[in-house]
């Protein structure tokens, strides 16, 4: 008779707790916006409605009413409608950001496109990095804008300085800028919500990525040692197949999720699927790194799963510092790991062993 908390069950409890801990910051961010979040992944503050603040991740964020505090979030699109007011600051990342209404504080954002329309007003400063930027409303303070295209419209009324960095800049003669317009070629990369050198050292992001990948890899190796080894063996045994399956999964899965989300009934399933897809990409990328490290150590006839994880994660991180090459290698590693993970899970579902022997029996611990 097996004890109620055997080795396998303890491993699964450990990995469940680890996943909860890793995803907790995202979960709290979503919960903070529950009062204004709909089932479709849209956060809406209706006209006549007042909320303390918005902090969340959604497909769309729309403010038609009043936000007494700050608006902080990431979304496909963010809009402060003409009837909308955000009393505090706006700090956001989105595909498109449109301000038709009023923001009482500062706006600091990164976006594909940003527009402050002729009815929009920002009482504080505007710090924006985007693909295209249009300022045709009122800004009480300074403007720092970096984009491929920057337009200063005829209704623009800037109380401070307008500093920009753009390949194409258009200024209407009717625009009013109290502090003058200044072109600053070094502005790009130092605007928006990105962690520029003045906020965080350049190596901090890379170090954090290495740390969390090592942490997840350690959890996977502890919780599922034989399965993890099996995934690595698939990459080494048939890299072409693993990469092909990974590419198909990467492209086809979002399409299927969109098709599922078309119906109202399918929306909750699609949201769950998006979460699972994101987790699978992360797990697959870590498995790809582990597999790469295992291949190196196997060639040296010095197999060790822990060193393989370390070599793989650090190696890919180091290569990632090389322009172009780093991004390509990272992408290939993701495809290999994601494909091998998918094949292993499918084999397990079909009832196949789908795993190599226990790492302790084939590797030096």
Look at residue 127 in the predicted model and tell me its pLDDT.
93
Look at residue 83 in the predicted model and tell me its pLDDT.
96
Q: What is the dihedral of CA 278, 282, 287, 289, to 10 degrees?
A: 140
pLDDT band for 143, please (50, 70, 90 cuts). Answer: very high
Look at residue 265 in the predicted model and tell me its pLDDT.
64
Q: What are phi and psi of 271, to 5 degrees?
A: -65, -40
Q: Long-range contacts for 209-217 (Cβ within 8 Å, ≥24 apart)?
A: 209/317, 210/313, 210/314, 210/317, 212/22, 213/285, 213/286, 213/289, 213/313, 214/309, 214/310, 214/313, 215/18, 215/22, 216/18, 216/22, 216/282, 216/283, 216/286, 217/286, 217/289, 217/290, 217/309, 217/313
Helices 202-223, 7-31: crossing angle, 10 deg rounding: 140
Taking alpha carbons only, the member of 128, 47, 104, 105 closest to residue 81 is 47
Assigned token pair, 261: 């989300």
Taking alpha carbons only, the member of 101, 110, 25, 30 closest to residue 67 is 101
pLDDT at 172 over 90: yes
Look at residue 117 in the predicted model and tell me its pLDDT.
96
In whole angstroms, give the CA distance from residue 95 to residue 205. 22
Assigned token pair, 174: 């009717």
pLDDT at 319 over 70: yes
The top-scoring range by mean pLDDT among 70-79, 91-100, 150-159, 223-232 is 150-159
Mean pLDDT score of the chain: 80
Q: What's the pTM value of the predicted model, to 2 decimals?
A: 0.49
Give me the count of residues in the chain.
Answer: 365
**C-beta atoms surrounding 149 within 10 Å:** 15
Which of the two residues, 189 and 337, has the higher pLDDT score?
A: 337
Q: Is 69 left (phi over 0), alpha (psi -120 to 50) or beta?
A: beta
Which range is least confidently modeled, 58-72, 138-152, 252-266?
Answer: 252-266
In whole angstroms, give the CA distance from residue 210 to residue 26. 19
Look at residue 270 in the predicted model and tell me its pLDDT.
73
pLDDT at 312 over 90: yes
3-state SS, residue 130: strand
Share of the chain above pLDDT 90, in %: 47
Instruction: State the DSSP H helix or E strand holding residue 67, giving kind and residue range, or none if neither.
Output: strand 66-67
The residues spanned by each domain of the chain are 37-183, 202-362
3-state SS, residue 170: strand
Look at residue 206 in the predicted model and tell me its pLDDT.
66
Which of the two residues, 354 and 264, has the higher pLDDT score?
A: 264
Q: Is 13 left (phi over 0), alpha (psi -120 to 50) or beta?
A: alpha
DSSP codes of every residue in 82-100: TT-EESS-EEEEEEEEEE-
pLDDT band for 189, please (50, 70, 90 cuts). Answer: low
Look at residue 190 in the predicted model and tell me its pLDDT.
55
């Amino acid at each position: 008779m097996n004890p109620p908390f055997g080795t396998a069950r303890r491993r699964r409890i450990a990995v469940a707790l680890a996943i909860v801990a890793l995803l907790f910051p995202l979960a709290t961010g979503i919960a903070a916006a529950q009062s204004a979040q709909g089932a479709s992944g849209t956060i809406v503050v209706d006209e006549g409605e007042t909320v303390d603040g918005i902090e969340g991740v959604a497909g769309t964020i729309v403010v038609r009413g009043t936000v007494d505090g700050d608006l902080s979030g990431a979304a496909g699109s963010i809009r402060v409608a003409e009837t909308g007011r955000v009393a505090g600051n706006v700090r956001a990342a989105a595909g498109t950001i449109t301000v038709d209404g009023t923001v009482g504080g500062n706006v600091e954002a990164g976006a594909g496109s940003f527009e402050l329309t002729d009815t929009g007003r920002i009482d504080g400063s505007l710090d924006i990095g985007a693909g295209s930027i249009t300022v045709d409303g009122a800004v009480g303070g300074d403007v720092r804008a970096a984009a491929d295209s920057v337009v200063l419209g005829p209704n623009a009324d800037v109380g401070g300085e307008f500093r920009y960095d753009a390949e194409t800049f258009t200024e209407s003669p009717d625009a009013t800028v109290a502090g003058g317009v200044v072109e600053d070629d070094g502005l790009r990369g130092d605007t928006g919500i990105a962690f520029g050198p003045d906020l965080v050292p350049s190596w901090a992001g890379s170090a954090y990525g290495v740390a969390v990948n090592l942490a997840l890899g350690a959890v996977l190796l502890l919780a599922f040692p034989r399965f993890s080894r099996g995934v690595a063996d698939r990459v080494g045994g048939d890299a072409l197949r693993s990469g092909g399956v990974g590419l198909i999964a990467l492209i086809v899965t979002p399409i299927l999720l969109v098709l599922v989300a078309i119906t109202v009934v399918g929306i909750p399933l699609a949201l769950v699927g998006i979460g699972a897809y994101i987790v699978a990409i992360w797990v697959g990328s870590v498995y790809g790194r582990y597999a790469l490290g295992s291949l190196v150590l196997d060639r040296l006839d010095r197999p060790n799963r822990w060193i393989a994880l370390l070599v793989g994660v650090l190696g890919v991180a180091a290569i990632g510092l090389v322009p172009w090459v780093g991004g390509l290698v990272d992408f290939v590693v993701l495809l290999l790991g994601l494909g091998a993970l998918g094949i292993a899970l499918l084999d397990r579902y079909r009832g196949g062993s789908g795993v190599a022997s226990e790492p302790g029996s084939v590797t030096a611990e």
